[in-house]
Amino acid sequence: MKTANDYNYEEINIGDAFEFKKVLTVQEIDRYADLTGDHNPLHCDEEYARSTEFGNRVVHGMLAGSLFSTLVGMVCPGKKNLYLTQSLKFRSPIYPNSELTVRGKILKKIDSMKVIIINTEVVVNGEIAIQGEAQVKLI
């Protein structure tokens, strides 16, 4: 996905749904840790992570949550938007190399401001791992 969609405000309807799939690899987790400085052993130390209740390394929640930026910036609405807010609720751990389905569904439109409200989810194996809500202004 290298070219952003280019939806106009009028083309987006309440109930419209969008999604894409992504696998977060160990290498991407390590790069994220280097970029942010978050080298928490639960995310970065396989031996330590195996000794925890999770039994494996866990993807940084904010790394997985950052995929909502891809949803908004590339899928819907794509070009010409300003991300205003994003809430996140981490419901279950995500493990390296899991296939993530990143979904968005248009909940509301505020015509006077050309703002859309999007329900956002990261789903792994049919379960919602991260849930949130985005507010996006089309420009």
CA distance 104 to 41: 31
- Full 3-state SS string of 43-67: HHCHHHHHCCCCCCCCCCHHHHHCH
Pairing verdict, β 115-124 and 99-110: antiparallel
Whole-model pTM?
A: 0.93
**In this predicted model, what pLDDT tens digit does every residue of 51-108 receive, in sequence order?**
999 999 999 999 999 999 999 999 999 999 999 999 999 999 999 999 999 999 999 9
Domain 9-25+59-138, classified CATH 3.10.129.10, yes or no: yes
Cβ neighbours of residue 39 closer than 8 Å, sequence gap 6 or more: 33
If you average pLDDT over residues 17-28, what whole number do you get?
97
CA distance 17 to 118: 9
Residue ranges of domains in the chain: 9-25+59-138
